[in-house]
């Protein structure tokens, strides 16, 4: 279990327009492996999914898969959809390609009777926003020679993400920063190990040193909750 | 929440495993879908607040068992001259109960409320009392609410159903 370290409040770094945009932007609904998200990047799937925020049903999945089987595999979009997207989308069926990385986790969700295509929270990353936090890097971040990834998770009342371990190789030195952009409210739950972080203020930053801890979140409160998450690690090779 | 002890130190708890097995294999009253809107001022307020926040009053957030649908006799806790009300909640993975104040406590006084998990704690089994998270407990540990009318809520983001007994001792308000 990694130590949870509170490293300060950096609300002054957050621009008002950033907060407004994060709270207003729809982001895309997680879990990641769903048709609507894949459709953002794949024109073949996109023609069948008009509403990106629509959560597809198993029947829709089957219909699209049947259509895809009749398409020309020489079309790169079809090939991508067939070889990457659909296998990626259907880890529960244990298809051999693409899904291996996700299999264990999603099988666990499935066995516990979570709806693996459910709408659990909204994810916002650079792609979904007009700003990049690294254009004006957060002052607590030591990013020299490090690879940085960041995203926001936004959770409406009633949404959740089951307990899970982030995908990371345990031998990589990694830092994770958890920075709420909304004040703590009763029912805003971030659970890591036996701990639930409470009473925080927007702009507080908590640091963890390993992604391999079980953690999860839910919102059983009455307002939306938005959290910036940043991961840094030293890649084995740096391209100068 | 104040941990006041463990039932195993006080009474025979061989009934617990049997009750848990029954609850896990039975369908309880679906809440809030089959419960409807609670009565009273507190009920009105909590119901409306949940709807305003986007919760669905026709969804199933957890299942409830009490003397109407559970044949087991929950062993008698001392009533201390008061009335007793008990129920068991079953919360499957992905289910939750939004933060709330229990409406029935509005009609009660001299109230003591107890929260008694019937299984050992597992990661992802969340019970919040205001900003307190109750975790690391053992089967049959007994927790008492500091105040009967305080806000609390629960969620299961783990991988096994969670079963909890709740007991209230009270006097009706005159």
pLDDT digits (tens, 9 = 90+) for A4-47: 899 999 999 999 999 999 999 877 666 554 565 666 666 677 77
What whole-number distance in Å separates Cα of residue A49 and Cα of residue A117? 15
Residue among A108, A187, A198 minimizing CB distance to B99? A187
Integer Cα distance of A173 and A29 in angstroms: 29
**HSE, side-chain direction, 13 A CA sphere, residue A27:** 24
B chain contacts of residue A30, beta-carbon cutoff 8 Å = none
pLDDT tier at B103, thresholds 50, 70, 90:
confident
Helices assigned H by DSSP within chain A:
16-24, 35-38, 43-46, 58-69, 76-80, 86-89, 100-111
Which segments within A45-167 are labelled E, that is strand? 121-124, 147-155, 160-164
B129-167 pLDDT, tens digit per residue, is 999 999 999 999 999 999 988 999 999 999 999 999 999
User: Are the beta carbons of A186 and B155 separated by less than 8 Å?
Assistant: no
Q: At A152, list the tokens.
A: 């926001």
Highest mean pLDDT among A22-31, A58-67, A148-157, B129-138: B129-138
Task: State residue A100's pLDDT score.
Answer: 46
User: What are the chain A neighbours of B89 within 8 Å (beta carbons)?
Assistant: none
Interface of A with B in 80-139 (CB under 8 A): 108, 111-115, 118
Instruction: Identify the CA nearest to A219 among candidates A183, A180, A170, A185.
Output: A185
B contacts of A118 (beta carbons < 8 Å): 94
Angle CA(A119)–CA(B156)–CA(B13) in degrees, nearest 5? 160
Mean pLDDT over the full length of chain B? 90
The predicted pLDDT at position A99 comes to 40
For residue range A176-185, list pLDDT tens digits in order.
899 999 999 9
Is any Cβ of chain B less than 8 angstroms from the Cβ of A212?
no
Helix (H, G, I), strand (E, B) or coil at A153: strand
Nearest CB to B124; choose among A198, A216, A222: A216
pLDDT at position A104 is 67
Indicate yes or no: pTM above 0.80.
Answer: yes
> Which chain A residues are closer than 8 Å to B157 by Cβ?
160-163, 189, 191, 216-218
Nearest chain B alpha carbon to A224 = B53
- DSSP helix/strand/coil, A174: strand
**In which residue are the tokens 């999945």 written?**
A61
A147-155/A121-124 β-pairing:
antiparallel
- Chain A residues near residue B151 by CB distance under 8 angstroms: 186
**CB-based contact B159 A111, cutoff 8 Å:** yes
Q: Which of A79, A62, A63 is nearest to A71 (CA)?
A: A79
Enumerate the residues of chain A whose CB falls inside 8 A of the CB of residue B98.
157-158, 187, 220-222
Instruction: Please write the tens of the pLDDT for every residue from A68-109.
Output: 788 887 877 777 666 655 655 554 544 444 344 455 666 677
Q: Give phi and psi for A154, each to the nearest 5.
A: -125, 130
Collect all residues with Cβ–Cβ distance below 8 Å to A179 and sequence separation of at least 6.
A10, A138, A203, A204, A205, A206, A227, A228, A229, A230
- Angle, CA of B144, B149 and B153, to the nearest 5°: 75
Q: Do B160 and A112 touch (CB under 8 A)?
A: yes
Fill in the DSSP letter of residue A170.
T
Check if B1 contacts A (Cβ < 8 Å).
no
ipTM here: 0.93
Instruction: Indicate the pairing of strand A121-124 with strand A195-196.
Output: unpaired
Mapping DSSP to helix (H, G, I), strand (E, B) and coil, where does residue A202 land? Answer: coil
Instruction: Kindly indicate the confidence band of residue A131, based on its pLDDT and cuts at 50, 70 and 90.
Output: very high
Tell whether A194 lies on the interface with B, counting CB pairs under 8 A.
Answer: yes
Structure confidence at residue B28 (pLDDT) = 94
């Amino acid at each position: 279990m990694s130590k949870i370290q509170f490293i300060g409040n950096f609300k002054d770094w957050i621009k008002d327009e950033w907060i407004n945009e994060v709270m207003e932007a729809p982001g895309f609904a997680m879990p990641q492996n769903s048709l609507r998200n894949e459709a953002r990047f794949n024109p073949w799937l996109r023609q069948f999914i008009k509403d990106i925020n629509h959560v597809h049903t198993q029947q829709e999945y089957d219909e699209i898969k049947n259509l895809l089987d009749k398409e020309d595999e020489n079309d790169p979009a079809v090939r991508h959809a067939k070889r990457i997207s659909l296998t990626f989308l259907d880890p529960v069926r244990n298809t051999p390609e693409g899904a291996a990385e996700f299999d264990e986790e999603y099988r666990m969700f499935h066995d516990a009777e979570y709806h693996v295509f459910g709408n659990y929270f909204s994810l916002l990353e650079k792609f979904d926003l007009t700003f990049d936090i690294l254009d004006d890097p957060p002052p607590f971040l030591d990013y020299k020679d490090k690879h940085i990834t960041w995203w926001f998770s936004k959770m409406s009342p009633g949404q959740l993400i089951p307990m899970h371990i982030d995908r990371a190789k345990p031998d990589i030195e990694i830092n994770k920063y958890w920075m709420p952009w909304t004040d703590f409210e009763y029912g805003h739950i971030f659970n890591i190990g036996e701990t639930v972080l409470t009473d925080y203020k927007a702009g507080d930053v908590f640091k963890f040193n390993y992604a391999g801890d079980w953690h999860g979140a839910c919102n059983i409160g009455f307002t939306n909750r938005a959290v910036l998450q940043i991961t840094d690690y030293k890649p084995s090779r740096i391209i100068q | 929440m104040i941990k006041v002890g463990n039932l195993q130190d006080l009474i025979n708890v061989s009934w617990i495993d049997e009750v848990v097995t029954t609850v896990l294999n039975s369908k309880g009253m679906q809440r809030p879908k089959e419960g409807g809107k609670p009565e009273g001022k507190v009920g009105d307020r909590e119901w409306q607040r949940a709807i305003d926040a986007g919760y669905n009053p026709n969804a199933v957030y957890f299942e409830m068992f009490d003397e109407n649908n559970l044949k087991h006799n929950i062993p008698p806790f001392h009533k201390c001259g008061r009335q007793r009300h008990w129920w068991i909640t079953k919360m499957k993975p992905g289910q939750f109960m939004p933060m709330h104040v229990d409406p029935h406590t509005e009609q009660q006084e001299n109230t003591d409320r107890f929260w008694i998990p019937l299984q050992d704690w597992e990661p992802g089994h969340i019970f919040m009392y205001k900003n307190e998270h109750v975790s690391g407990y053992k089967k049959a540990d007994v927790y008492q609410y500091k105040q009967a009318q305080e806000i609390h809520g629960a969620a299961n983001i783990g991988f096994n159903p969670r079963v909890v007994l709740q007991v209230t001792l009270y006097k009706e308000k005159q």
